[in-house]
């Protein structure tokens, strides 16, 4: 076996995918630039490390289940009250995830709650954090079925092992008492263990009504709000604003 084929086969045995993919190129480059043994070795290790980082990012993006990709740089802070550019810059350092703090976005439909949540989630994945996005309706469905359905059980397990859970659209649909209890248990487990972003079109004073249990809702909010940054957004819906602009 020629030396090159042997190296390739050894890399494959060691499951060094990054090395096997770029070995040819690295060898050619090293030969043409006459690099030292040690710097060649460094480029081999670096190729493997960056391949693994890229794969991890792709896996974590897929596992996050973002419904679409949104970026902070596409968010127009001029059109919304309650959050500013400097808040966003602050949030993008992710100390709140390291400190297991929560973020709550309140406000009427269309002001950018989901956009901001996803933008933070995507940046967090880029920084290496594990993130899961779920609309509350689906999260509750997963909790309800996790004991009888393997896919739900896996998803809940991934959610609980994340650094950040994004729970979108609390308040659009009422939650039954039994379901609210399952949700409460999840938040209790998450409390001080991982960060949660919650978006809601209802102020938390009205959550008890939506969940049908005042005592439990108080305990739930107690945990969510203990270490939390709350942003109450306001402004015209971006959706209708866009339609209007098109008409003009
Ligand atoms: P909400 O979750 O508050 O109902 P979304 O985040 O879903 O609102 O926003 C609705 C749409 O308008 C999305 O396509 C979003 O990207 C866009 N959008 C909302 N606010 C802004 C903003 N301030 N700058 C740019 N796009 C925005
Ligand atoms: Mg939304």
Report how far apart, in Å, the C-alpha atoms of 89 and of each of 55, 118, 123 are. Answer: 27, 15, 11
The mean per-residue pLDDT over the stretch 5-18 comes to 96
Is residue 192 within 8 Å of residue 94, measured between CB atoms? no
The answer, yes or no, to whether any atom of ligand 1 lies below 6 A from the CB of 171, is no
The answer, yes or no, to whether any atom of ligand 1 lies below 6 A from the CB of 80, is yes
Residue 81: alpha-carbon gap to chain centroid = 24
CATH class of 72-247: alpha beta
Return the structure tokens found at 209. Answer: 């009504």
Residue 239 above 90 pLDDT? Answer: no
pLDDT given for residue 77 in this prediction: 96
In this structure, which ligand is nearest to the CA of 233? Answer: 1
Confidence of residue 247 (pLDDT cuts 50, 70, 90): low
d(C-alpha 178, C-alpha 138), whole Å: 15
Is residue 116 within 8 Å of residue 165, measured between CB atoms? no
Burial class (CB in 10 A: 0-12, 13-18, 19+), 201: middle
Q: Tell me the domain boundaries of the chain.
A: 2-59, 72-247
Mutation test residue for ligand 1: of 70, 78, 115, 242, the one with most atoms within 8 Å of CB: 115
The answer, yes or no, to whether any atom of ligand 1 lies below 6 A from the CB of 146, is no
d(C-alpha 234, C-alpha 231), whole Å: 10
0.75 exceeded by the pTM? yes
What is the tens place of the pLDDT at every residue in 109-161?
999 999 999 999 999 999 999 999 999 999 999 999 999 999 999 999 999 99
What is the tens place of the pLDDT at every residue in 34-74?
999 999 999 999 999 999 999 999 999 999 999 999 999 99
Residue 80 CA to ligand 1 centre (angstroms):
10
The mean per-residue pLDDT over the stretch 178-197 comes to 95
Is residue 103 within 8 Å of residue 132, measured between CB atoms? no
Q: Would you mind telling me the total number of residues written for the chain in this entry?
A: 248
Least confident range from 36-50, 65-79, 177-191, 229-243: namely 229-243
pLDDT given for residue 92 in this prediction: 98
Atom of ligand 1 nearest to the CA of 77: 23
Residue 114 CA to ligand 1 centre (angstroms):
7
Is residue 225 within 8 Å of residue 200, measured between CB atoms? no
d(C-alpha 210, C-alpha 177), whole Å: 9
What is the tens place of the pLDDT at every residue in 77-112?
998 999 999 999 999 999 999 999 999 999 999 999
Interior/surface letters 42-52, b for 16+ CB within 10 angstroms, e for the rest: ebbeebbeebe
Return the structure tokens found at 188. Answer: 């209790």
The mean per-residue pLDDT over the stretch 22-39 comes to 95
d(C-alpha 143, C-alpha 236), whole Å: 34
Beta-strand (E) ranges in 76-234? 102-106, 131-135, 164-170, 195-200, 228-232
d(C-alpha 186, C-alpha 141), whole Å: 13
Confidence of residue 205 (pLDDT cuts 50, 70, 90): confident
Residue 246 above 70 pLDDT? Answer: no
Residue 173 above 60 pLDDT? Answer: yes
pLDDT given for residue 193 in this prediction: 96
Sheet bearing 164-170, strands edge to edge = 131-135, 164-170, 195-200, 102-106, 228-232
The answer, yes or no, to whether any atom of ligand 1 lies below 6 A from the CB of 175, is no
């Amino acid at each position: 076996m020629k030396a090159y084929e042997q190296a390739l086969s050894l890399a494959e045995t060691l499951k060094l995918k990054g090395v096997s993919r770029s070995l040819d190129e690295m060898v050619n480059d090293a030969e043409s630039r006459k690099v030292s043994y040690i710097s060649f070795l460094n480029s081999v290790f670096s190729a493997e490390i960056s391949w693994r980082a890229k794969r991890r990012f792709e896996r974590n993006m897929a596992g996050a289940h973002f419904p679409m990709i949104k970026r902070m740089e596409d968010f127009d802070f001029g059109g919304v009250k309650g959050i500013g550019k400097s808040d966003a810059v602050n949030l993008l350092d992710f100390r709140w995830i390291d400190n297991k703090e929560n973020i709550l976005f309140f406000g009427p439909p269309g002001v950018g709650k989901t956009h901001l949540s996803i933008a933070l989630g995507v940046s967090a994945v880029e920084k290496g954090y594990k993130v899961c996005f779920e609309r509350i309706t689906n999260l509750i469905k997963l909790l309800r079925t996790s004991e009888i359905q393997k896919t739900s059980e896996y998803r809940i397990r991934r959610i609980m092992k994340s650094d950040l859970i994004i729970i979108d659209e609390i308040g659009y649909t009422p939650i039954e008492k039994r379901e609210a209890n399952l949700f409460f248990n999840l938040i209790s487990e998450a409390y001080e263990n991982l960060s949660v972003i919650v978006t809601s079109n209802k102020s938390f004073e009205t959550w008890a009504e939506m969940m049908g249990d005042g005592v439990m809702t108080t305990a739930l909010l107690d945990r969510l709000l203990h270490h939390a940054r709350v942003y109450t957004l306001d402004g015209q819906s971006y959706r209708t604003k866009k339609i209007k602009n098109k008409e003009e």
